[in-house]
Amino acid sequence: QVQAVESGGGLVQPGGSLRLSCVAAIRDFNHFLMRWYRQAPGRQLEEVAGITGGGTINYADSVKGRFTISRDNAKNMVYLQMNNLKPEDTAVYYCNAPAAPLAWGQGTQVTVSS
């Protein structure tokens, strides 16, 4: 099964920015809803943002106005631009497609700390 591959995480100070990328080498990528998730230590997996193949977008309330999800269907890529990062955004970030044959990747660690 094809596995998602996330990248772009790192250590950033509060107020900083990061751009996460995810490649999902699945057929008919443009047909599938793609989501970013995150999991902080000791907490459940949380949906962060989603984008349909046609570009309809939704965000968790906790990231609205700070995060922007986008996709490039020609490249099978989905992105998460994260601005004004807060310590509570610290987590491992994953992408996935709930309805697609796509395995969970390793995720990318985002740490927000001064």
Q: d(Cα 24, Cα 41) in Å, to the nearest integer?
A: 25
Please measure the distance between the N-terminal and C-terminal CA atoms of the chain and give it in whole angstroms.
Answer: 39
Q: What does the block give as tokens for 28? A: 């008919």
- Reading the block at residue 3, the tokens are 């596995």
pLDDT of the residue at 1: 85
Specify the amino acid at residue 59.
Y
Phi/psi of residue 16, nearest 5 degrees = -80, -175
Q: What are the tens digits of pLDDT across the range 63-98?
A: 999 999 999 999 999 999 999 999 999 999 999 998
